[in-house]
Amino acid sequence: MTETTRETRQRFKSRTKLVHAGRTPSEQFGYVNTPIYRGSTVLYPTFEDLSARRGRFSYGTQGTPTTQSLETAWSEIAGAAGTVLVPTGLAAITLALLTAVKAGDHILVTDSVYRPSRNFCDTILQRMGVETTYYDPLIGAGLEALVRPNTSVVFLETPGSQSFEIQDVAAIEAVAAAHDLCTIIDNTWATPLFFPPHERGMDLAVEAGTKYLSGHSDLLLGLVSANQRWYPRLRATWDAFSMCPGPEDVFLALRGLRTLELRLREAERQGLAMARWLAQRPEVVQVLHPALPDCPGHDLWKRDFLGSSGLFSVLLKPASREALAAMLDGLELFGMGYSWGGFESLVIPFDCRTYRTATTWNPPGPALRFSIGLEDIEDLQADLAAGFERFNTHNTKVSSP
């Protein structure tokens, strides 16, 4: 068998790349998967080799064959010059920002950003002397008016966390390019399979491998990929921090990589089926799923994305807290937990009003975010239908969301 290379794999489609990228069985005695390498110390055969740090690996913090397999594979899938791995998705976000900023800088961050990203900007970066301006995710080319002489970064997340606004990436990238700003995108919702970040002009792309790459809710992992210009600086920043993920987590992520597209396509199918079903429910005022034609931003999603995942939100009619609790507490198949992208279905209530600063979040009633898993869709719908019955029964005293 002749092993493929990144160059030869360019003619293959994404599923074939996912199966073969990052694997070199000839280096592993013919075994299909790169095994788990645990270790800190790397031995050198001679004094000269040690002095020059001559060798593929020099120390455990610099990587192992296991981590290199995932870095190499992810770079290929994302269209990146290079990738680094970190212990969590949030660590990937903070590393990307720290790669691009310095004291005295000003950065632009979408108002719909993942809340822990916002917390990092408002605490650690603020203490470093970096000022953050949050912008309306629908601003598009209007971002130009917010750029200052010391602006260095634009941080995007599309669709927006929880509220699912779709940004005009092309317009924002054009503003960034005109002012030589570093563009960073949190691409966890779509993954590079449904939104190729560097092809769309992003300098750094952040991914929570905890979600769809893992696919099984049993690991924490973050990835940051970079284009040719920014990869050396990203790698140097990563080297300075040595934020190394655990080898078992990397191994499980590699295993998840091989089936990523199959699972993501099924998540897309399941998510759309559930979103369309929910749109017909009388308790639902609006479904926030970018792939639905009547969702705000659908045209931009259709232009820029190659698919959708199983995560979306719904806005309910006005209801009391008791009604919402009755609905959620009695669910059998939907768990309540702060993650997504696994094989199981999840739901959480959310409210953006307390922390949005550039936009106003004013839903008609409670808001719910769903992650649709791999259960039979009819069973999931029956579980929610029973939940809506409890919701209606208890909704005798309506309060504001």
The predicted structure's pLDDT at residue 149: 98
* Cβ atoms of 313 and 294 closer than 8 Å: no
CA distances from 251 to 54, 248, 352, 362, 392 (A): 26, 5, 36, 43, 46
- From 78, 84, 64, select the one nearest 21 (Cα to Cα): 78
For domain 261-394, the CATH architecture is Alpha-Beta Complex (3.90)
Segment among 58-62, 197-201, 207-211, 233-237 with least mean pLDDT: 58-62
Query: pLDDT at position 21, please?
Result: 76
Residue 398: pLDDT band with limits 50, 70, 90:
low
Helix or strand (DSSP H, E) at 68 = helix 65-78
Question: Quick one: pLDDT at residue 152?
Answer: 98
Strands (E), 28-143: 82-86, 106-110, 131-135
Q: What is the pLDDT of residues 323-338, one digit of tens each?
A: 999 999 999 999 999 9
For the stretch 58-114, pLDDT in tens is 899 999 999 999 999 999 999 999 999 999 999 999 999 999 999 999 999 999 999
Q: What's the CATH architecture for 8-257? A: 3-Layer(aba) Sandwich (3.40)
Quick count: other Cβ atoms within 10 Å of Cβ 7?
7
pLDDT tens digits, residue range 143-198?
999 999 999 999 999 999 999 999 999 999 999 999 999 999 999 999 999 999 99
In this prediction, residue 2 has a pLDDT band, given cuts at 50, 70 and 90, of confident
Q: Angle at Cα 229 formed by Cα 190 and Cα 153, nearest 5°?
A: 65
What is the model's pLDDT at position 400?
45
Work out the percent of the chain whose per-residue pLDDT is above 90.
87
Backbone CA torsion sign across 48, 52, 57, 59: positive
Closest CA to 311 of 290, 332, 331: 290
192 cis-preceded (ω within 30 degrees of 0): no
Q: Please check whether residue 18 is in contact with residue 76, taking contact to mean a CB–CB distance below 8 angstroms.
A: no
Domain layout of the chain by residue ranges: 8-257, 261-394
Q: What is the pLDDT of residues 336-377, one digit of tens each?
A: 999 999 999 999 999 999 999 999 999 999 999 999 999 999
Cα–Cα nearest to 225, from 249, 194, 257, 191: 191
